[in-house]
Amino acid sequence: MGLLGGFDWHLKFVEPVRSGDRLRERITILDKRVSSKQGRGIVKNLIEVINDRERLALSIESTVLMATRPQ
């Protein structure tokens, strides 16, 4: 599987990241569906970057076009 393209990106820089911060990422799939073109799918996801104080630093909601596995 591979990323074919991205569209409809929404970035929110919620809190600054400082030197020495430990960051982790959480990815949530919000929606997925098969594209009208064979071998492709559309995925809407939410990527969140959280600092070591458990505060949200960055939020990215995007919709991407992905290659799908052959049937």
pLDDT the model gives residue 8: 83
> What domains can you pick out in the chain, each with its CATH number?
3-67 (3.10.129.10)
CA distances from 9 to 36, 51, 53 (A): 21, 22, 26
pLDDT the model gives residue 47: 97
Cα 29 from Cα 48, distance rounded (Å)? 12
User: 């630093």: which residue's tokens?
Assistant: 57
pLDDT the model gives residue 1: 53
Tell me the pLDDT of the chain (71 aa) as tens digits.
576 777 789 999 999 999 999 999 999 999 999 988 888 999 999 999 999 999 999 999 999 999 988 77
Q: Write b or e for each residue in 7-26: b if 16 or more Cβ atoms lie within 10 A of its Cβ, otherwise e.
A: eeeeeeeeeeeeeeeeeeee
